[in-house]
Amino acid sequence: MATAAKPEMVRTHVVLPKSLIEQIDARAGARHRSEFIAEVMAEWLRRLDALDALDAFSGSLKDVDTPGWNTPEETSAWVRASRALDDKRWREKWGIE
């Protein structure tokens, strides 16, 4: 079984408040600070990327006629109908009902 290549690691110097280091150590242990900080920062960057994408596409449908999306109630009804159609197709495909 192939294993993923380890990313190249680079040592850096970061100054953090003592109280923050104490919280990190309480969660990850003093010997796992770097791993913990790397995981947290990777997740934070994924969230920032998602927000950037949301900002880039927000309002992109404002000039497009989107039936069923005019009010929250219409949107909920549209979602329910779409899910019901998907359920119907899935049941037909698998011979259920």
What value does the mean pLDDT take over residues 10-39?
A: 94
* pLDDT of the residue at 14: 94
- Whether 8 is in a domain gets the answer no
Predicted TM-score (pTM) above 0.75 = no
Q: Establish if 83 belongs to a structural domain.
A: yes
* Residue 12 placed within a domain: no
What pLDDT digit, counting tens, does each position of 41-60 carry? 999 999 999 999 999 988 88
> Is position 82 within any domain?
yes
Q: 88 in a domain, yes or no?
A: yes
> Residue 51 belongs to what domain range?
18-58+69-94
Res 33 pLDDT > 90: yes
What does the mean pLDDT of the chain come to?
90
SS3 62: coil
Residue 3 within any structural domain of the chain: no
Count structural domains, the chain. 1
- Exposure string over 70-97, b if 16+ CB within 10 A, otherwise e: eeeeeeeeeeeeeeeeeeeeeeeeeeee
11 lies in some domain: no
Q: Is residue 5 part of a domain?
A: no
